[in-house]
Amino acid sequence: MARPPTVPDNERDMSYGIVTEQITRFETELRLESGRILGPIEIAYETYGTLNEARSNAILVTHAWTGNAHLAGRYSEEEKRAGWWDEIVGPGKLLDTERYFVICSNVIGSCFGSTGPTSINPKTGKRYNLTFPVITVRDMVSAQALLMDRLGIERLFCVLGGSMGGMQALEWATQLPDRVASAVILAATPRPSAQAISLNAVARWAIFNDPNWKKGEYRKNPKDGLALARGIGHITFLSDESMTAKFDRRFSARDGQFDFFGQFEVERYLNYNGYNFVDRFDANSFLYLAKALDLYDVSSGCESMDEAFAPVSAKLQFFAFSSDWLYPPPQTEEMVASLERLDKQVEYHLITSSYGHDSFLLEHETFTPLVQAFLDKVRF
Amino acid sequence: MARPPTVPDNERDMSYGIVTEQITRFETELRLESGRILGPIEIAYETYGTLNEARSNAILVTHAWTGNAHLAGRYSEEEKRAGWWDEIVGPGKLLDTERYFVICSNVIGSCFGSTGPTSINPKTGKRYNLTFPVITVRDMVSAQALLMDRLGIERLFCVLGGSMGGMQALEWATQLPDRVASAVILAATPRPSAQAISLNAVARWAIFNDPNWKKGEYRKNPKDGLALARGIGHITFLSDESMTAKFDRRFSARDGQFDFFGQFEVERYLNYNGYNFVDRFDANSFLYLAKALDLYDVSSGCESMDEAFAPVSAKLQFFAFSSDWLYPPPQTEEMVASLERLDKQVEYHLITSSYGHDSFLLEHETFTPLVQAFLDKVRF
């Protein structure tokens, strides 16, 4: 019998196909929310589908904390896994690439091609490390706007994202209201709560504690601290229910229950995933983006949430997930209530799901038809 | 004007007064649940009030993770703070020392006078450190039973405790049913869930990551790792609601919001308390007790919870707290349902409180009258 292909044929058929990452450089300096200046900057991005003549079919997908521009498709036939949200992008999929021009760019501050703490500061010839300025979600969106200018996109048909991606969609709708016709916001929050901040705080602390972090001046990622930080984050992305379903209280078959270093299955899983993460994400980027998450407040610079939402002209669709304890549904509902008070075009769906905050990545079947119907109603 | 006294007069009047910690040594070796042997062992304890002639008025209060035997009163007039649960123990208080003989002992595995990893192993003349055997809550109770034998107490009027203290009360009721007339169990669980285990797992990991931990062979507490471990634990003891009430998203007045090392108030608080904790608790003890918590299962060795509760003869009173997300109310309710199926004498109260798991220490006014009424019904 022939060996099965690495990628199942049916999946390959549905996928966008081969994509190329592009990196574009802006000589312009970006004035950050902090007042500091960042530049020149580079932005890594990918596009799928074709921009129509009216330039009216562009959808920007905004990624979460540790995401990147590789939204869908494969860089080569050999690449085992397609982009991170391949399930919803491609011909005939939710973000139908026969119809839309889909863009995904890596946020500034990250480590996947866009300017961040691992980049070389052109003024010094050295890596920024901690000389990189603190950035905010608003700054990420300012950088994305430069990219849209360059692509000749005056107005986006839609911005869609979950978690930190949802925060970016909110910033597009509130800060650049003329440039976006609609936004889909999943598993986001108007501002993380004290508990959410405290969980990021202990994740930061784990990195600060690692002597290999060297105040950001490491050559090799400080693996123990970063793996632990990721382990803490991982807990916040899941739910007690999903962890119980997957691991319950099972003890690792390799360990004795009464061994001092014996591990529960859930413990081993967090450990294993934490150390895997070290190979693909930079510790300083992790810290800068954690900070951006904690600082996020849709009402920043305004007296109230209503004031923040007043300029919105886009149609907005919100999704919250019942088991998301990091950004729980009432936080989304607070935004929806504000938008309803302001008579904005807003739609809200509470999805019952056991997967916690990560539901937005795992439960796409539940929201796909709803987003589909929403996009069909958007008139450019 | 005269300076106010260190302890307010009204508080002093209500307090038990001066107490002395006692340490007693058992040459007997304890067979642990793991099959390993521990001994000789020492147990640190305090008593309040007088044992009556019938030896029928003894109440054992069992402490939580980082607690100790210093339940109430003061070691000297100068001691600023009374024992950890002074609010409920003393003349005229819930555990009325004019009526009851109240005992509190430090659990084995801890670092406050009872045998634990910081103790000298008499066989080697060195600190146990990681040669200390993994112990369970059941083992803690076996050691307490030795103490009761020595004090001449055949049967306890009541065992009362919260969190890990509640687990000990459960073990008394299920493993030594003839030796306890009643038990009050607050903020406990029949077994921690996968999420609760995972939060302890990352706390352990924080200590393991600290190079000063040296696989348990440190001379000085590994402060960065232990402080972080405590910080993680601290989050689980509180609730989002109580953290929001206390800190919300306030940024430390000392820091700039856009400083890389700038802290939110809640972050500073966790940091400050974490480093304070290092001065009063041993890292290895923290690890051994975290393990005991995770391993806890009231049904251990039984086919079902009903089988575990079948031998119970004591009257049981349970309290759960609405905002406790570490050991959430449904976990207590599962025990209550099992006991009701078995026609045991059981009483349950769900207390509405915003203080999270720590509610049991902070909300004593809410449960005091209910425990009072319960104890009044207990016939020895």
Neighbouring C-beta atoms of residue B368, cutoff 10 Å = 15
Q: Contact, B90 vs B245, CB < 8 A?
A: no
Contact state of B244 with A271 under an 8 Å Cβ cutoff: no
What's the pLDDT at B9?
46
Which residues of A are catalytically annotated?
163, 324, 357
Find residues 35-64 of chain B whose CB sits inside 8 Å of chain A.
35-36
Q: By the CB < 8 Å criterion, does A293 face chain B?
A: no
Q: Contact, A90 vs A11, CB < 8 A?
A: no
Name the closest residue on chain A to residue B268, using Cα atoms: A201
Contact state of B202 with A231 under an 8 Å Cβ cutoff: yes
What are the CA-CA distances from residue B238 to residues A325, B208, B233, B306, B362 (Å)? 14, 24, 9, 31, 11
Contact state of A198 with B267 under an 8 Å Cβ cutoff: yes
For chain B, the distance separating the N- and C-terminal CA atoms, rounded to the nearest angstrom, is 53
Average pLDDT over residues A275-301: 98
Residues of chain A found within 8 Å of residue B211, distances taken between Cβ atoms: 211
Query: Residue B266 is encoded by which pair of tokens?
Result: 């809640």
Contact state of B209 with A205 under an 8 Å Cβ cutoff: no
* Distance, CA of B289 to CA of B230 (rounded, Å): 13
A205, A208, A273, best to mutate vs chain B, most B CBs in 10 Å: A205
Q: Contact, A108 vs A33, CB < 8 A?
A: no
Contact state of B264 with A36 under an 8 Å Cβ cutoff: no
* Distance, CA of A201 to CA of A196 (rounded, Å): 9
* Distance, CA of B352 to CA of B338 (rounded, Å): 23
A·B CB contacts under 8 A:
147
Contact state of A243 with B294 under an 8 Å Cβ cutoff: no
**Which residue among B198, B205, B238 places its CB closest to the CB of A243?**
B198
* Distance, CA of A361 to CA of A63 (rounded, Å): 11
Closest residue by Cα to residue B349 from B376, B322, B313? B322
Give the pLDDT confidence of B108-118 residue by residue, as tens digits.
999 999 999 99
**Which residue among A130, A133, A193 places its CB closest to the CB of B244?**
A193
How many angstroms separate the CA of residue B145 from the nearest CA in chain A?
A: 22
Least confident of A254-258, B142-146, B371-375: A254-258
Contact state of B201 with A264 under an 8 Å Cβ cutoff: yes
Residues of chain A found within 8 Å of residue B210, distances taken between Cβ atoms: 209
* Distance, CA of B367 to CA of B369 (rounded, Å): 6
**Which residue among B198, B235, B297 places its CB closest to the CB of A266?**
B198
What's the pLDDT at B5?
43
Query: Identity (one letter) of the amino acid at A138?
Result: R
* Distance, CA of B255 to CA of B263 (rounded, Å): 7
Contact state of A247 with B34 under an 8 Å Cβ cutoff: no
What's the pLDDT at B4?
41
pLDDT at A181 over 80: yes
Q: Give the contacts of B368 (CB within 8 A, at least 6 positions apart).
A: B88, B94
Name the closest residue on chain B to residue A33, using Cα atoms: B258
Residue found by looking up tokens 């609601």 in the block? B241
Give the pLDDT confidence of A188-234 residue by residue, as tens digits.
999 999 999 999 999 999 999 999 999 999 999 999 999 999 999 99
* DSSP label of B46: E
Q: Give the contacts of A19 (CB within 8 A, at least 6 positions apart).
A: A46, A48, A70, A72, A73, A74, A75, A83
Average pLDDT over residues B352-361: 96
**Which residue among A259, A266, A328 places its CB closest to the CB of B197?**
A266
In total, chain B counts a number of residues equal to: 380
Query: Residue A12 is encoded by which pair of tokens?
Result: 């390959």
Chain mean pLDDT for chain B: 95
Residues of chain B found within 8 Å of residue A192, distances taken between Cβ atoms: 249
Name the closest residue on chain B to residue A289, using Cα atoms: B260
pLDDT at B1 over 80: no
A164-175 vs A137-151: helix crossing angle, rounded to 10: 70
Average pLDDT over residues B138-162: 98
Give the pLDDT confidence of A12-32 residue by residue, as tens digits.
457 799 999 999 999 989 999
Average pLDDT over residues B185-189: 98
What's the pLDDT at B255?
87
Q: By the CB < 8 Å criterion, does A34 face chain B?
A: yes
Distance, CA of A155 to chain centre: 21
Pairing state of beta strands B182-186 and B315-321? Answer: parallel
Give the pLDDT confidence of A129-146 residue by residue, as tens digits.
999 999 999 999 999 999
Residue found by looking up tokens 């820091």 in the block? B255
Chain mean pLDDT for chain A: 95
Q: Give the contacts of A369 (CB within 8 A, at least 6 positions apart).
A: none
Name the closest residue on chain A to residue B239, using Cα atoms: A195
* Distance, CA of A69 to CA of A65 (rounded, Å): 12
Pairing state of beta strands A126-127 and A120-121? Answer: antiparallel
Q: Contact, A41 vs A108, CB < 8 A?
A: yes
Full 3-state SS string of chain A: CCCCCCCCHHHHHHCCCECCCEEEEECCCEECCCCCEECCEEEEEEEECCCCCCCCCEEEEECCCCCCCCCCCECCCCCCCCCCCHHHEECCCCEECCCCEEEEECCCCCCCCCCCCCCEECCCCEECHHHCCCCCHHHHHHHHHHHHHHHCCCCECEEEEECHHHHHHHHHHHHCHHHECEEEEECCCCCCCHHHHHHHHHHHHHHHCCHHHHHHCCCCCCHHHHHHHHHHHHHHHCCHHHHHHHCCCCECCCCCCCCCCCCEHHHHHHHHHHHHHHCCCCHHHHHHHHHHHHHCCCCCCCCCHHHHHCCCCCEEEEEEECCCCCCCHHHHHHHHHHHHHCCCCEEEEEECCCCHHHHHHHCHHHHHHHHHHHHHHCCC
Measured CA angle at A74 (ends A72, A76), to 5 deg: 165
**Which residue among B134, B205, B271 places its CB closest to the CB of A258?**
B134
Residues of chain B found within 8 Å of residue A255, distances taken between Cβ atoms: none
Q: Give the contacts of A355 (CB within 8 A, at least 6 positions apart).
A: A238, A239, A242, A321, A323, A362, A363
Percent of chain A with pLDDT over 70: 96
pLDDT at B352 over 70: yes
Give the pLDDT confidence of B23-52 residue by residue, as tens digits.
999 998 999 999 999 999 999 999 999 999
Average pLDDT over residues B154-158: 98
Q: By the CB < 8 Å criterion, does A258 face chain B?
A: yes
Q: By the CB < 8 Å criterion, does B364 face chain A?
A: no
Give the pLDDT confidence of B97-110 residue by residue, as tens digits.
999 999 999 999 99
B260, B272, B331, B355, best to mutate vs chain A, most A CBs in 10 Å: B260
Average pLDDT over residues A308-324: 98
What phi and psi values does residue A142 have, to the nearest 5 degrees? Answer: -60, -40
What's the pLDDT at A158?
98
Closest residue by Cα to residue B203 from A232, A251, A250? A232
**Which residue among A224, A270, A287 places its CB closest to the CB of B198?**
A270
H or E element that contains B82: none
Query: Residue B166 is encoded by which pair of tokens?
Result: 């509640």
Q: Contact, B262 vs B256, CB < 8 A?
A: yes
* DSSP label of B238: S
Least confident of A175-179, A281-285, B1-5, B349-353: B1-5
What phi and psi values does residue B308 have, to the nearest 5 degrees? Answer: -65, -40
What phi and psi values does residue A47 have, to the nearest 5 degrees? Answer: -130, 155
Q: By the CB < 8 Å criterion, does B202 face chain A?
A: yes
* DSSP label of B326: S
Contact state of A206 with B201 under an 8 Å Cβ cutoff: no
Query: Residue B100 is encoded by which pair of tokens?
Result: 């009851």
pLDDT at B263 over 50: yes
Find residues 212-251 of chain A whose CB sits inside 8 Å of chain B.
224-225, 228, 231-232, 235, 238-240, 243-244, 246-249
Question: How many CA within 13 A on the CB side of residue B175?
Answer: 21
Residue found by looking up tokens 């996009």 in the block? A375
How many angstroms separate the CA of residue A125 from the nearest CA in chain B?
A: 21
Name the closest residue on chain B to residue A130, using Cα atoms: B260
Q: Contact, B43 vs B26, CB < 8 A?
A: yes
Residues of chain B found within 8 Å of residue A194, distances taken between Cβ atoms: 240, 243-244, 246-249, 264, 266
